[in-house]
Chain A
Amino acid sequence: MTATDLRPTAAVLDQSAASKPKNMGQILRWVLLFLGGIMMIMPIAYMISTSLKWPHEVYNVNLIPEEPTIENYTYVLEDGRFYLWFMNSIIIAVITTISNLLFDSLVGYTLCKFKFPGRQIVFIAILSTLMIPTEMLVIPWYLMSQSFGWLDSYWGIMFPGLMTAFGTFLMKQFFESVPDDFLEAARIDGLNELQIWWIVAMPLVKPALAALAIFVFLGNWTAFLWPLIVTNSVEMYTIPVGLSGFGDEADVAWELIMTGAAISTIPTLIVFLIFQRFIIRGVVMAGLKG
Chain B
Amino acid sequence: MQIYANLTIRQKHIIWAWAFLALPVLFYGIIRFYPTGNAFLISFQDWNLLGKRTWTGWDNYIKLWNDPVFWKVFKNTFAYLLIGTPISLFLSFLIAYHLDKLRFMHGFLRMLYFLPFMTSAVAMAWVWRWFYQGVPIGLFNNMLASIGIPQIEFLNSTTNALPAVLAPAVWAGLGFQVIIFMAGLRAIPTSYYEAAKIDGVGWFTILTQITIPLLRPTIVFIVVFSSIGFLRIFDHVFNMTTNNPGGPLNATKPLVLMIYDTAFNGFDMGYASAQTVVLFLILLVVSLIQLRLLRSD
Residues of chain A touching chain B, judged by Cβ–Cβ distance below 8 Å, are 4, 7-11, 13-15, 17, 26, 29-30, 32-34, 36-38, 40-41, 43-44, 46-47, 50, 59-61, 103, 106-107, 109-110, 114-119, 122, 125-126, 129, 131-133, 135-144, 159-160, 162-163, 193-194, 197, 218, 221-222, 224-225, 228-229, 239-241, 243-244, 247-248, 254, 257-258, 260-262, 264-265, 268-269, 271-273, 276-277, 280, 283-284, 287-288
Contact = CB atoms under 8 A, between A and B. Distances in A.
Interface string B121-149: 11110111111010011010011001000
A239 B75 CA distance: 32
Contact of B197 (A13, A32, A243): A13
Q: Which 10 A-B pairs have the closest CB atoms?
A: A37-B112, A140-B35, A261-B123, A240-B122, A222-B120, A114-B17, A140-B38, A136-B276, A116-B17, A193-B16
Nearest to B40: A136
A106 B21 CA distance: 8
B104 A30 contact: yes
B264 interface: yes
Contacts of A244: 122, 126, 238-239, 242
B180 A277 contact: no
Contact of B116 (A32, A43, A129, A163): A43
A258 B122 contact: no
Interface of B: 10, 12-14, 16-18, 20-21, 23-25, 27-28, 31-36, 38-39, 42, 95, 98-105, 107, 109-124, 126-131, 133, 136-137, 139, 142-143, 146, 168, 171, 174-176, 179-180, 183, 185-187, 190, 193-194, 197, 221, 225, 232, 234-235, 238-239, 242-243, 256, 259-260, 263-264, 269, 272-273, 276-277, 279-280, 283-284, 287
Given A136-B279, A248-B242, A222 B121 contact: yes
Given A43-B127, A137-B36, A221-B120, A280 B277 contact: no
B28 A163 contact: yes
Contacts of A228: 238
Majority-rule SS of B interface residues = helix
A247 to B, nearest CB: 5
Contacts of A136: 36, 39, 276-277, 279-280
Contacts of B28: 125-126, 129, 163
Contact of A133 (B16, B123, B238, B279): B279
A257 B38 CA distance: 39
Nearest to A104: B24
A106 B186 contact: no
Contact of B24 (A47, A141, A163): A163
B100 A10 contact: yes
B179 A284 contact: yes
Contact of A137 (B35, B114, B243): B35
A40 B235 contact: no
Contacts of A224: 121-122, 234-235, 238
B142 A61 contact: yes
Contacts of A60: 142
Contacts of B194: 13
A108 to B, nearest CB: 10
